[in-house]
């Protein structure tokens, strides 16, 4: 709802439904101004430089240059100052000004002056006043009086470093984030959600369960530790088995390619800044002097598609062979700014569950339908729901507009058939530079949405690489190409799974599925026998033979959230049974070792989410 739709603000407020809609659209932005005013009053107007302060999904932030670092001790001081400002019930007013007037108003604010300098000469410039002693360069709109914000609830979330205009060559500022909601109940619910999300943080759980680590010598490049790599391989095995059943062929390609390949694919022109480029050094044989060659000829691959194309071009294909599906899980690298790295969610080295399919135009609808069936099966196996979004032609697209129109029309027909017209989102301008795409977004168990899979239709790269197949009439025709990934990347997907399951994974994908604890040293031989039986059944198991208290051994395995911990004493060794400690503290006694192994093996085949916990489950 726009203020402009009404004669004045009072008329807007009289329409309660319209005013609430308007208020909800602006209150966080207005609180960002209140935050800036409070910080200026706390740290001193002469000492404070204000930059920008937009609203965001759960609040707002503002960037500052301040005389000292903001600490947690400052948070309540700033919050109380914000409340004090609201109690003043100050009027907010907007004024349109010229560039010269704006420069005069903000003559002591360097970042505002830079923003003003970069505005077009004919730009409409507005400033907003909060009372008589705070003014901000802003397009608005805002509330009319601070009193309107009295019932809102806010809390400082954090402070972090940020670069002016996101450029690490510019000044480093302090960004203060606030949570902001219409009332206390909504803020309280959000804080509870945040607390739960923090407890699920994969950056916390991963190291605690010895799944992965990072090292400063390889920023954004995860090390998979032994337990984590077992889970990684379990998920990879599940993925491979499913794709083999659907006719996919797995390939393995070089990690480094000559720039000719990337020039032909378009990555050199459209993606070079995100690629790791390879230099080499020439050594003078007489002097031993090393000289770096500055002519870049090679790059580490950021994507798999050009290499899959090379494999397709290895021979001439008949229409009878199509679709040809080349899957690949090889490592790829993409450069990211250091401030954007985030655990497994945003990395510089990762493994995509990639496929590149080459097919005829009349096979597109059936093939993408099958891909979406695969995605549905995968997400449901992990207990995740998903939705689809169509992303269309971006500004920097390659190829003829008519090819894009044809590709987008194909995807729309598929989505209309799959979900019904209007039952999916359209994200205008967010396609890849070589083709439109379907993005798959999934929700985890606490309702968070994640961008995961992507299905990209590509008429352009087959043209760039002059791909051909022999058609039914013997003529050479050009195939269509589909790029697709369901996980997106193994790293990111596993990070999401860690948080979704809070580290308590389904049996089949648990890093270690069974822990084995002999009560005393004389039970070690039976513990080794149990380990061998389980491993023969394909069960990932660990035994603790250390000279330690039994309770400590059990506690250690429970902290790692093993699904089952088997406790072995005299009775178990004599009867070839196991006592089972089930994750969640339930216990079963006298379970046949053979039956336990059979039941566990079934879990690995059925990908069951729930953990069996009754005696009947092990019969």
Q: How far apart are CA 147 and CA 279, in angstroms?
A: 61
Domains of the chain with bracketed CATH: 3-189 (3.30.980.10), 212-501 (3.30.930.10), 507-618 (3.40.50.800)
- Predicted local distance difference test score (pLDDT) of residue 575: 95
As a whole number of angstroms, the distance between CA 52 and CA 63 comes to: 6
In sequence order, the 6+-apart residues with CB closer than 8 A to the CB of 414 are: 364, 365, 368, 369, 372, 438
Is the Cβ–Cβ distance between 240 and 282 less than 8 Å?
Answer: no
- In this prediction the pTM is 0.83
Non-local CB neighbours of 293 within 8 Å, separated by 6+ positions = 279, 280, 281, 282
Strands in 256-258's sheet, in edge-to-edge order, are 256-258, 290-300, 277-283
- Specify the DSSP element, H or E, that contains 332: strand 331-333
> Quick one: pLDDT at residue 19?
87
Instruction: Give the strands of the sheet with 317-318, arranged side by side.
Output: 317-318, 469-470, 476-477
**Would you state the pLDDT for residue 126?**
96
DSSP alpha helix (H) spans, 56-152: 74-87, 99-105, 110-117
Q: pLDDT by residue (tens digit) across 508-563? A: 999 999 999 999 999 999 999 999 999 999 999 999 999 888 899 999 999 999 99
Catalytic residues: 305, 334, 352, 354, 356, 437, 483
Series of mean pLDDT values for 10-residue runs along the chain (619 residues):
62 83 95 98 96 95 97 97 96 94 96 95 94 94 94 96 91 97 97 92 94 95 96 96 96 94 88 87 73 79 94 96 96 88 93 95 90 92 90 84 84 86 87 84 81 86 93 95 92 94 96 96 95 97 92 93 96 95 92 95 94 89
**ω into residue 141 within 30 of 0, thus cis?**
yes
CB 601 within 8 A of CB 539: yes
120-156: pLDDT as tens digits:
988 999 999 999 999 999 999 999 999 999 999 999 9
330 burial type by CB count under 10 A (0-12 exposed, 13-18 middle, 19+ buried): middle
Residue 283, pLDDT score: 74
């Amino acid at each position: 709802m726009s203020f402009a739709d009404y004669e004045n603000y009072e008329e807007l407020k009289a329409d309660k439904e319209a005013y609430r809609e308007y208020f909800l659209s602006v209150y966080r932005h207005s609180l960002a101004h209140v935050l800036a005013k409070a910080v200026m009053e706390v740290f001193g107007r002469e000492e404070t430089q204000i930059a920008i302060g937009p609203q965001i999904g759960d609040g707002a932030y503002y960037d500052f240059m301040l005389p000292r670092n903001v600490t947690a001790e400052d948070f309540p001081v700033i919050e109380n100052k914000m409340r004090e400002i609201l109690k003043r019930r100050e009027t907010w007013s907007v004024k349109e000004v010229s560039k010269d007037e704006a420069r005069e108003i903000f003559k002591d604010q360097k970042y505002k002056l830079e923003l003003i300098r970069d505005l077009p000469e004919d730009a409409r410039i507005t400033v907003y006043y909060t009372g008589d002693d705070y003014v901000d360069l802003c397009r608005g709109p805002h509330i009319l009086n601070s009193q309107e914000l009295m019932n809102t609830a806010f809390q400082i979330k954090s402070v972090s470093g940020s670069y002016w205009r996101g450029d690490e060559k510019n000044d480093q500022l302090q960004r203060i984030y606030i949570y902001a909601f219409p009332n206390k109940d909504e803020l309280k619910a959000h804080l509870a959600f945040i607390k739960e999300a923090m407890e699920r943080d994969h950056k916390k759980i991963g190291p605690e369960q010895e799944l992965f680590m990072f090292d400063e010598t390889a920023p954004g490049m995860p090390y998979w530790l032994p337990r984590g790599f077992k889970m990684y391989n379990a998920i990879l095995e599940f993925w491979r088995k499913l794709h083999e059943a659907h006719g996919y062929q797995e390939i393995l390609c070089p990690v480094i390619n000559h720039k000719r390949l990337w020039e032909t694919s378009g990555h050199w022109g459209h993606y070079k800044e995100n690629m790791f480029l390879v230099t080499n050094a020439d050594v003078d044989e007489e002097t031993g002097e090393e000289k770096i060659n500055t002519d870049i000829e090679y790059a580490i691959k950021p994507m798999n598609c050009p290499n899959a194309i090379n494999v397709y071009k290895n021979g001439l294909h008949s229409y009878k062979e199509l679709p040809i599906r080349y899957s690949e899980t090889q490592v790829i690298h993409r450069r990211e700014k250091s401030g954007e790295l985030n655990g497994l969610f945003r990395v510089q080295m990762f493994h995509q569950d990639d496929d590149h399919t080459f097919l005829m135009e009349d096979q597109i609808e059936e093939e993408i339908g099958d891909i979406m069936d695969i995605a549905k099966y995968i997400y449901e196996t992990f207990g995740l729901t998903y939705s689809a979004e169509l992303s269309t032609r971006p500004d920097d697209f390659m190829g003829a507009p008519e090819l894009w129109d044809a590709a987008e029309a194909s995807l729309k027909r598929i989505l209309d058939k799959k979900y019904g017209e209007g039952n999916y989102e359209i994200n205008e301008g967010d396609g890849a530079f070589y083709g439109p795409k379907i993005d798959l977004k999934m929700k985890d168990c606490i309702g968070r949405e994640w961008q995961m899979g992507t299905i990209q239709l590509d008429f352009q790269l087959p043209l760039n690489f002059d791909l051909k197949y022999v058609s039914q009439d013997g003529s050479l025709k050009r195939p269509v190409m589909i790029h697709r990934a369901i996980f997106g990347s193994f790293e990111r997907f596993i990070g999401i799974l860690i948080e979704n399951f809070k580290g308590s994974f389904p049996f089949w994908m648990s890093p270690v599925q069974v822990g084995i604890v002999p009560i005393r040293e004389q039970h070690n031989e039976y513990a080794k026998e149990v380990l061998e039986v389980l491993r023969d059944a394909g069960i990932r198991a660990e035994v603790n033979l250390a000279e330690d208290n039994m309770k400590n051994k059990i506690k250690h395995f429970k902290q790692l959230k093993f699904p089952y911990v088997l406790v072995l004493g005299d009775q178990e060794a004599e009867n070839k049974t196991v006592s089972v400690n089930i994750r969640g503290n339930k216990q079963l006694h006298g379970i046949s070792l053979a039956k336990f192994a059979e039941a566990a093996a079934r879990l690995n085949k059925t990908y069951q989410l729930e953990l069996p916990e009754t005696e009947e489950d092990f019969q």
